[in-house]
Amino acid sequence: MNAAMFINEEEVKSVLNWDDTLEATETALRATSERKSVQPPRVFAQIFNTPKWMIAMPGYLEDSRFGGWACKILSGNPQNVHSPTMSANIVLYDEDSGVLKAVLSAIEITSWRTAAASAVATKHLHVRTGKPQKILAIFGCGDQGKAHANCFYHCFNFEEIRLWNRTHQKAANLAAELNNKYHTLKFRAFEGNESCARDADVIVTATSPGPVPIVRSEWLKAGVHINAIGVVTSKGEDKRYELSAETYKNAAVYVDSWEGANKELTGLLEFGAEMKAEIGDVILGNVQSGNKDRSIFQSLGMAAEDCAMARLVYDLHKRKQTKVL
């Protein structure tokens, strides 16, 4: 048996590409609804009354190309200013023996697979139903917002990609960076969240939600699709969502896995949200679209996605190493 390897963030970045990431993530979402994954609800360990958190996400995915047995461990402090707000590593095991195969840095993996999950949801719930893809609005320009901007630019053909951030300069910087990278003028920074949301065909929210939602129902056009990424909080009186209660009430809500949603998204039922289906069931054609014209993908993130990504990155990294030798 070979010794376990550590695949650092630079090595992960050097093999990641959108086409493989989209395939791995779509496989994980589909397999979840086919019951080909094992992913118990994740475990949270918050340090007393601080915002400092840790999450363990163990899981298994059965698939010849993207299958894996792994656990992602994340920790973070949203108040960090001089260091990243989140750390993440995936521990990947041999599926037969349970012997450690690799530890992978997983900041990039998490951003890429989360953006890819939103893109898969947008493809199946919006684009394939023939709805327009003129304006994309992204709220939050941190790691997730940036990954979504890159992923959606790669996958779709929006005419305008709007960027909003609590601190406007961050949105302006990201717009300039992406316009420069892709030799385009499609990326535009917006100061107001209302003006950014109005007329958007597809919306991504990727913030750490505060006490006041950043997107309101009355601003949204009919047929809008929203990917809500930011972690929801619903502890006692402290309820934090990126979208207003009316936004949930007026849309069909899709999730990545019922196992996670039944534990972490029960607060949405208080808003009268219609919890419609897993994205995997939409991919499999098991779900008929309902009478609500708006859709929301409430993304929690799944262990199965991380298993698929760990296997993909591990295989690509080993192939690259073999070529070098």
Ligand X SMILES: NC(=O)C1=CN([C@@H]2O[C@H](COP(=O)(O)OP(=O)(O)OC[C@H]3O[C@@H](n4cnc5c(N)ncnc54)[C@H](O)[C@@H]3O)[C@@H](O)[C@H]2O)C=CC1
Question: How many residues are given for the chain?
Answer: 325
Q: Tell the smallest beta-carbon distance from residue 131 to ligand LZCNNONV (Å).
A: 27
Residue from 49, 83, 97, 167 binding ligand X (CB under 6 A): 167
Q: Look up residue 316 and give its two tokens.
A: 């690509």
State the nearest-atom distance from the C-beta of 296 to ligand LZCNNONV, in Å: 16
Whole-number minimum distance, CB 172 to ligand X, in Å? 12
Chosen residue from 27, 33, 110, 193 binding ligand LZCNNONV by CB under 6 A: 110
Which is closer to ligand LZCNNONV, CB of 54 or CB of 188?
Answer: 54
Nearest in space to 203 (alpha carbons), one of 186, 215, 192: 215
Q: CB 229 → ligand LZCNNONV: shortest distance, Å?
A: 8
Is residue 268 classed as helix, strand or coil in its secondary structure?
A: helix
Query: What residue ranges in 150-290 does DSSP mark as E strands?
Result: 160-164, 187-189, 202-205, 225-228, 233-235, 238-240, 251-255, 274-278
133: how many CB neighbours lie within 10 A of its CB? 17
Binding residue (CB under 6 A) for ligand X from 91, 300, 303, 313: 300
CB of 307 to ligand X, least distance (A): 14
Q: Structure tokens of 257? A: 């896995």
With respect to ligand X, which residue has the nearer C-beta, 257 or 299? 299
149 sits near ligand X (criterion: CB under 6 A) = no
Cβ within 8 Å of residue 124, ≥6 positions away: 279, 282, 283
Q: Closer to ligand LZCNNONV by CB, 112 or 158: give it.
A: 112
**Which part of the chain contacts ligand X (CB under 6 A), choosing from 37-45, 90-98, 142-150, 308-316?**
142-150
Q: Where are the beta strands (DSSP E) in the chain?
A: 5-7, 37-38, 43-44, 53-61, 68-76, 86-93, 100-105, 135-139, 160-164, 187-189, 202-205, 225-228, 233-235, 238-240, 251-255, 274-278, 294-298
Q: Which of 98, 74, 73, 72 lies closest to 1 in space, CA to CA?
A: 98
Among 21, 25, 32, 165, binds ligand X (CB under 6 A): 165
74 forms part of the interface with ligand LZCNNONV (CB under 6 A) = yes
The interface with ligand LZCNNONV within residues 264-303 (CB under 6 A) comprises 301
* Interface with ligand X, residue 255, by CB under 6 A: no
Binding site for ligand LZCNNONV (CB under 6 A): 74, 110, 231, 301
